Structure 1
């Protein structure tokens, strides 16, 4: 059963995150043991970037490696109400969106919102600190390139969007205990504008997908404001997952000389 679960995890992420050619590859990966992150690059030739890539994610964003870039602009996100489905991807909990979810504009290029998923604890570290959770909003351009907008969460008050999803997450958990490890729960139309938080600060760098095949040249935007999420919400995000995936964070990767750029809009008086 565990073998089947890990295989499904790869296929689910493949369909959302990588090219059709790679989506045909059936290989196991996990977060610990012989299939853990340190072994990803050796599980299959398609995963070689996980081991030899020089632009890998996540990273620890340190002040000494961060450069203020005056040419960066505020983050332009334009999301719209759309149908959504909550999905147990086995290796994480995700929400997929229908057409018309909206987009983000980066360097005059449009990336359409595809799905979002959560990692607990966070994959990216900020100044050496790992947070309780991280949300990845995955966008894709017409040329097939990806842009991910990430939000870090610390333990605190409830996160409003997840509060709306509480009953759906409980249902996803119930489906797992019924033996349905790849459950989907229809959410209906949601207003993704609730996720469109304004930010006066973000970090930008070029990295990779954080799951196999670890494809590179992904544009990452890490929001500078750390949000809050309750302990109960953390547990809800973990509860549909097998215990071996409840801590689903890839370790930080070497920066290898990359520049991490920072946008910081000072408040106007």
Structure 2
């Protein structure tokens, strides 16, 4: 009884090759499955001599196996996996990006009322208005605790000017013709324009006047000097006591943001000034956006007098167009003795 059957050598050799091929395919499948792809999914090779079909790939692996040594697969040999896609939130509304704090609102209108465009938010209304919040010499301020010193006198050289008046949506403004100047401490400033606020923006010892006229002057080097003429109403005062202010009220344009230049009407700003020209002075800023600083302020200690009716007439147009008081921030205030 024969336990073993002699098998021809060629048949054994053939079976060995077949087994090796089968084993090579198993190894190939294992490594490619680890990399996450199949043989059919591999990218096309760069050279035409490289194996391109499953059979050719099997032969290549078989040749590796038949050689001495182990097959080492380096990370660089494996196809790189694509970066994971960002997970999409199940509820995109629930996850919101943090809003940048204090981002300026470009080209927004500013006003004197509380709200998103009010004085506390002027700095947000334009990138040009950041000083309204970040400035260190902002105006107006409460004037108190000044040092008494000998100050140079104010020398007004105001000429009569054709009346050019505008309601710009924030105040009543009068543009003054060239040729009127103010001299202070050997420096001459040209009167550019003047406008009004109710109540006065400045306070003296915590008290504000009924109104104020801001007379804006400019030196030839660009520096600004603003003279503040406080205005208080009196029941005894007649309209004739302040003819300059009455002329302005008479010619306020009917439509906001329109200018008026009535033919032949002239104005003399000297009529608005009080008799006593003693003053306080300090450094500050414009009281409206962009709140530019390095402005010298001159606040007359004596108030001009207007009638109660004149005050009421202006109040019907601008009942409140005054900026809140700002921090003094240690500024020096000089007071004429």
Which structure's relative contact order is higher, taking Cα pairs within 8 Å and 6+ residues apart?
Answer: 1
Larger radius of gyration: 2
Q: Does 1:96 align with 2:172?
A: no
Post-superposition CA distance 1:96-126 (Å, at most 9, x none): 11222x1111232111001111101110001
Q: Return the offset for 1:74.
A: 1.3
Q: Does 1:69 align with 2:149?
A: yes
Q: 1:165 to 1:127 in 2, by over 3 A?
A: closer
1:146 to partner: Cα distance: 0.7
Whether the 8 Å contact between 2:273 and 2:304 is mirrored in structure 1 is: no
Secondary structure at the counterpart of residue 262 of structure 1: strand
Residue in 1 that maps onto 2:257: 182
In structure 1, stretches of 5+ residues that fail to align are: 1-24, 265-269
Aligned position for 1:117: 195
TM normalised by structure 2 equals: 0.63
Tell me by how many angstroms 1:198 deviates: 3.9
SS state at 2:252 partner: helix
- Residue in structure 2 matching 1:79, options 140, 150, 158: 158
Count of matched residue positions in the alignment of Structure 1 and Structure 2: 227
Q: Which structure's residues are more often strand, by fraction?
A: 1
Contact 2:172–2:196 at 8 Å: present in 1 too? yes
- Once superposed, what is the RMSD of the aligned Cα atoms? 2.0
> Which contiguous aligned blocks of 4+ residues in structure 1 show a shift greater than 6 angstroms?
none
- The 2-side partners of 1:76 and 1:88 are apart by 29
1:170-206 Cα shifts (integer Å, max 9, x gaps): 4526x1xxxx222323253223332354425210000
Measured against aligned partners, the alpha-carbon deviations of 1:74-94 in whole angstroms (never above 9, x if no partner) come to 111111122221211110011
Q: Which runs of 5+ in 2 are unaligned?
A: 1-105
Q: Does residue 224 of structure 2 align to residue 152 of structure 1?
A: no
Cα pair distance change 1:193/1:152, threshold 3 Å: closer
- 2:323 paired with 1:253: no
- Distance in 1 of aligned mates of 2:239 and 2:220: 32
Q: CA deviation at 1:27?
A: 3.5
**Deviation of 1:221 (Å):** 0.4
2 CA distance for matches of 1:194 and 1:164?
Answer: 6
Q: TM-score when scaled to structure 1? A: 0.78
* SS, match of residue 51 in structure 1: helix
